[in-house]
Structure 1
Amino acid sequence: MRFQTVMKTFILLLAPFAIAATIVISILFGAKDIHTGTIMDAVFHFNPDSMDHQIVMTSRLPRVIGALLIGAFLAVSGAMMQGMTRNYLASPSIMGVSDGSVFVITVCMILLPASSQLDLILYSLLGSAVGAGIVFGLAWLLPNGLSPVRMAILGTIIGTFLNSVSEAMSTYFQISQKLSFWYNARLHQMDPTMIKLAIPFAIVGLALAVVLSRSITVLSLGDDIAANLGQRTTLVKVLTLISVILLTGISVALAGKIAFVGLLVPHITRYLVGIDYRWVIPCSAILGAVFLAWCDIVSRFINHPFETPIGVVTAIFGVPFFLYLIKTRGGGKHA
């Protein structure tokens, strides 16, 4: 308990310095060498005629800001899903939520090719709701469908199906190049305007997560215990899903589907700070933000000067951890 108390304080106090260092390092290193003085000039005395200034302000800075935000959103989404379902294997990428976003974006790009950036965010949110609705709906209908392994299998099947249909439609209608951004999670194509548009949705999603944090702690003990303590479990679950849909939807809209952040980070966070979601949610946001941003930094050096897809880097950490969870904890729900 003392270890967890110390880690709570340590994470919160270290967060500003870790995030600041991550931003600086991410801006410093890339395919093109840019002098530190030039970077400082770009930040404080931006010259639109300078190519280096353009790279810093329109590519590298939005990229690291986007990576930090998306890492935080996905980690919080994963933590909330795991707490709500008491399922160690729950995460947006495994439960079909992210795939639902990509599917609906694909459909809407075919039917409504002139969609605005705000429209794409709304499509992504709708897709997250569709993916979550299908997976959780089927899980509740099937015998023992809410068990961790069965939900993971069901989510993987539905997610793979939606992703396959999306790719087939994009190929048939010859828009694969246009949609490759959402399939391959390209952080280097981060759009600053999309980030600005996503902020209001993110605020609502994060605010819901914070407000629900105590209820999720109680819910993670089991529906019966939560109901005996006077909690309106159905309402809490619905609001939790709304928060997950908002945070996952805008993450996919910003950078495409990124796997394993929502699975890995909440487990690390609970080990460090305990099972009280009033601490798990903010600490997951911090650790998720730094984790994804550093995965993005690493992706630039694995095959320098070419960039490795961010999904490959997160999978290096996520796949072994996923297999470990299936082997050690997949058979039952956590308390």
Structure 2
Amino acid sequence: MQENPFADPFDAPPPAATVPTQPPAAATNSNEEFNPFSNRAGSSNVQPAANRVAPSEFGTKTAGMDDELFRKQQELERRAQELRIREEELDRRQRNAANNLNTGASNNAPRPHNWPPLPTIIPVEPCFYQDIEVEIPVQFQKTVTFAYYVFLVYVLALVVNVVASLFYMIFASGSIGQLFLACIQLALFSPCSFLFWFRPVYKAFRNDSSFNFMVFFFVLFFHCIFTFVQTLGLSSYACGWINALDTFKTSIPIALLMLVSAITFTVALIGMLTALVRVHRLYRGAGFSIDKARQEFTNGVMSDAGVQRAATAATQAAAGAAFNQAAQGRF
């Protein structure tokens, strides 16, 4: 009986009253039933305030993690480099052992000489055994190789000086004494440079010898002063900058050739100073000292067989002279 029979059937029915799904908190009664799942579902999406991380704190933690990862990466790279150096050193020792086995010699036996590399047609054998990759540790091979190249550049400068002095004497009225002096320098300073400063630095890095380091520093320092005088070209001592520039008044081609000699001497001088500084840095970093060099020299001299025989002979002679004097005075 609630429907109106006279109402228009095409009219929409009135909207139904909306019923709230959840009563207000103030209208709830303590005796009504409690749904435990409704509150849990609503509170599961809300994080407690204590567990929330501020953006600034999160950025600080991320930066700290990045720094820690960077430090660990640097440490790993350093260890990898050390492992590579040890591996190269082990390979070098293995090659050295293999060479000894191939030659049929023991570890203490002398190796066949290979320097200077003379052709077979010359009836002269090499004087030294030299192999930087075999005898020198890996971390010092570049320094020893650089010193060897400096020695070769200096020998080249002496050769160019001889050629320039020859043309200077023939075409620019140069003195014959300068040519003779250039030949003497080539014949004298080439082997002396090898024996007195390159060979000591080679043996210093090979045998870890402080005495050879001191010999290298002493000889190369004075040799740098000598090479500086050669580079200047004072008087007729060598074809350097001064007499090369003066030769432009006489002959330009000869002056250019003398300039090549001066430039070669300059490159050799710069290389000597650079080698001196590089070796000195390694010397200071390795903990060598003058006391250690003195001790090595003393031990080396006293362990030499010739020195021991001479000392024994001197002791016997002194003892015999003292006995004779005592016997003559008594009888």
TM-score past 0.5 threshold: no
TM-score with structure 2 setting the length: 0.25
TM-score with structure 1 setting the length: 0.24
* Structure having the larger proportion of residues in helix: 1
Asked which structure has the greater RCO (Cα within 8 Å, sep 6+), the reply is: 1
